Amino acid sequence: MRPILIAVTLSAAFTIAGCHTAPARDHELGCTLVYLKTGPNRELAPDASQRVFAGHFANMLRLAHERQLLVAGPFAEPHRDPALRGIFVLDTPDRARAQQLAETDPGFQAGVFALEYHELATAAPLRAYLAAELAVRDQAERDGKQLEPGAGGRKYVLLTAEHGDLARTALEGHAGVLLFGRLDGTRAFAVLDAQDPDAARALLGVAAGRIGDFVLDPWFASGGLVHLRELPMTR
């Protein structure tokens, strides 16, 4: 799965969250993290598959322009779990609203994807990030350039930790952590500035031994994510 150019253009962005267990704090944005997983329909004809994925990318772009889809991108090789396809981060903490938005995806409607929802609260400036990404895309269109899905993208590593408090103490403020968030109230989710799991472990250094149980997943998204910490938080 190639990433769409929502947030894929500053230099070029699936798990669905929403368990209303811990509301976002004043400095945090309440979101829904959506995991896109392999669905029941695995045998689409080539022409049908092309239509579905064209619709998938177009729908992501529509949701981004509507300021509903903040970040999206596919998992990269090597896959820890072959069922994982990608993530959406939706700008709502409401499970029903998140489901309504995510289920407009043609891939879900065709049975190519199954969706899994989780609550995500983060102080990362994702709204400012999306605005900057869309501004770059709009400028490219004014210049007559066609930006293909995945242009300007790069690899990152997603970290999911079981003990959110331990992870927060060890990782918040770490130079290699581009985004940190509370996942489902008690766990943690982070985007690491690393190309693969081995590089992520080296980046974390001694912090890796302080966060308890965690998993690492290679991921592909906008190169613009490296600028996330430079942007102002918007509400």
CATH classification number, 29-230, choose in 3.30.565.10, 3.30.70.1060, 1.10.357.10, 3.40.50.300: 3.30.70.1060
Q: Along the 235 residues of the chain, how does pLDDT read in single tens digits?
A: 444 434 333 333 333 333 334 555 668 999 999 999 999 998 889 999 999 999 999 999 999 999 999 999 999 999 999 999 999 999 999 999 999 999 999 999 999 999 999 999 999 999 999 999 999 888 888 888 877 767 789 999 999 999 999 999 999 889 999 999 999 999 999 999 999 999 999 999 999 999 999 999 999 999 999 999 898 876 5
> If you search the block for the tokens 């308890």, which residue do you land on?
212
Exposure of 77 by Cβ count < 10 A (0-12 exposed, 13-18 middle, 19+ buried)?
exposed
Spell out the long-range contacts of 55-62 with Cβ–Cβ below 8 A and sequence spacing 24 or more.
55/106, 55/107, 56/105, 56/106, 56/107, 57/2, 57/4, 57/149, 59/104, 59/105, 59/106, 60/4, 60/6, 60/88, 60/105, 61/4, 61/5, 61/6
Domain limits, the chain = 29-230
Q: Tell me the Ramachandran region of residue 150: left when phi exceeds 0, alpha when psi lies from -120 to 50, beta otherwise.
A: left
- Cβ–Cβ under 8 Å, residues 25 and 120: no
Q: How far apart are CA 189 and CA 180, in angstroms?
A: 6
